[in-house]
Amino acid sequence: MHRCTALLLLLVVSLYVLGAEAYKCRCTRKGPKIRYKDVQKLEIKPKHPYCQEKMIFVTMENVARFKGQEYCLHPKLQSTKNLVKWF
């Protein structure tokens, strides 16, 4: 019985760690040039244990270049800081 409990606990911990990997910092310094008027929505997510920087997501308008895509912007870039102030 203890072996079954230990295996179940190991499985739960493994799934938790694998799920947490998906939330690592996803914001890169590279990305498309974004015009402020093409931004439909701006979302700022706070820091969390797997990423020591806040994450800034923008959802783009349905224009030919972007078609409603979502991008994660690096919070330390000056262009991102300007966008947050403007928005």
The pLDDT tens digits for 36-70 are 888 889 999 888 777 778 888 888 887 767 777 88
Is residue 68 in a domain?
yes
Which residues constitute the domain of residue 72? 25-86
Residue 65: CATH number of its domain: 2.40.50.40
Residue 34, in any domain of the structure = yes
Give the chain's domain count.
1
Q: Which residues pair with 73 in a beta bridge?
A: 28, 56
CB atoms < 10 A from the CB of 19, how many? 9
Question: For residue 60, is it within any domain?
Answer: yes
Beta bridge partners of 58: 42, 71
The reply to whether the predicted model has a pTM over 0.85 is no
